Chain A
Amino acid sequence: MNPGLVMYEEEFRKISGICDRLTRDASAKVVFLVDKNGQLIAAAGQSQDLDTTSLASLTAGNVAAMGGLAKLIGESEFPSQFHEGAHESIHMSIVGGKVVLVVIFDAKSSLGLVRLRVRKASDELARVFEQLARRQSAPGTPSPLAEITDDDIDNLFSA
């Protein structure tokens, strides 16, 4: 099986910091980061009123569908996409080929500003994910769940 994504405290703090700053710099309402399989990695801004789990899953579905369309017309993928609503708009961009950076914004911001700020944040995020990948693939890194016993797993389902 493919190895999963493992997030450590240090990298998580960096990622959250970048998302927080992007929210401010782009005058965005919400910024979140999703892996391409639909798992929410981080959220910043006014995310408490949003169903971020659903957003993450639908974002991944959308990016996957657009990626499928891209391949049909001979592109490898669409690195970014923009959906404009009457009040709120969504900008999505693929970072480091693996994760999707989503910015939700309203009339207080603009597509131009969002694009500009996203570019800078993407570079920073890509570096953190490279660091994460190196850490995960470093020899001697134990499986994060190695200490879990079969009994622990059974107990989860005994209730």
Chain B
Amino acid sequence: MSFINYSSREINCKIVYYGPGLCGKTTNLQYVYARTSPEAKGKMISLATETERTLFFDFLPLSLGEIRGFKTRFHLYTVPGQVFYDASRKLILKGVDGVVFVADSQIERMEANLESVENLRINLSEQGYDLNRIPYVVQYNKRDLPNVATVEELHRLLNPRNVPEYQAVAPTGVGVFDTLKQVAKLVLTELKRGG
């Protein structure tokens, strides 16, 4: 749920990175954080376990510049990917404006990807959102690994809606900003439409 403040001339939106455990959601945010100028970002918060697995969420506030005198601010969140943290995932989807699904391209993670997309669909619908209508981008991460599925295969299984999709290697930044820019653009376009 966006927040438009006429008084401070700000548009605030919420983007959630979703996907199976260890697919690279936090790494996406870490790369964005590392490559953004200090004045455009706030502090990155990671509520993680001692072994650096996301426990509740990661949070990164980001400014993307001005549109017609309105500052655009995006709040990026990740969900914990591990299956048993479902209650937390539901909470983080509250008020979401756009979703990035980060898929793990490795063949052996295909089932986990499919399970996570289905989980996203269910959790969104519980909040009154429709995965077929919400601003949505799919990222095929870990393209640098040897045992990856083809993009055609990933597309067929994970992107039937044919939304914008990007290949990525999150630790080195390949595809990270393309994904973010695209989802931000879709969110703003949806807001303009009065969604």
Residues of A within 8 A of B (CB): 1-9, 12-13, 35-39, 41, 51, 53-54, 57-58, 61, 64-65, 67-68, 143-148, 150, 152-157, 159
Contact = CB atoms under 8 A, between A and B. Distances in A.
Contacts of A154: 185
Contacts of B184: 156-157
A145 B195 CA distance: 10
A37 B185 contact: no
Contacts of A147: 68
A54 B43 contact: yes
Given A37-B14, A148-B188, A157-B184, A2 B4 contact: no
Interface string B1-44: 11111111001101000000000000000000000000000110
A145 B192 contact: yes
A39 B12 contact: yes
A64 B94 contact: yes
15 contacts: A1-B97, A4-B97, A5-B1, A37-B1, A38-B59, A39-B3, A41-B5, A53-B61, A61-B57, A65-B88, A68-B91, A145-B192, A148-B192, A150-B192, A153-B67
Interface stretch (B104-112, B115-123, B128-136, B154-162): B128-136
A8 B5 CA distance: 6
A152 B12 contact: no
Interface of B: 1-8, 11-12, 14, 42-43, 45, 47, 56-57, 59, 61, 64-68, 70, 72, 75, 87-88, 90-92, 94-95, 97, 128-129, 133-134, 181, 184-185, 188-195
B7 A54 contact: no
Contacts of B91: 61, 64-65, 67-68
SS class of chain B's interface: helix, strand, loop or mixed? Answer: mixed
Contacts of B75: 38-39, 57
Interface of A is mostly: mixed
Closest 3 CB pairs of A and B: A37-B95, A4-B2, A143-B194
Given A37-B94, A39-B3, A144-B6, A1 B45 contact: no
Contacts, number: 134
A68 B70 CA distance: 34
- Best-buried of B45, B87, B184, B192 by chain A (most CB within 10 Å): B192
A8 B7 contact: yes
Give the interface centre of A5, A9, A67 by most chain B CB atoms within 10 Å. Answer: A5
**Most A CB within 10 A of own CB, among B11, B56, B70, B94:** B94
Given A1-B133, A38-B14, A39-B3, A150 B61 contact: no
Given A152-B67, A153-B188, A4 B3 contact: yes
Q: Pick from A39, A54, A155 the residue with the most CB of B within 10 Å.
A: A39
A54 B59 contact: yes
Contacts of B189: 150, 153
Contacts of A51: 42-43
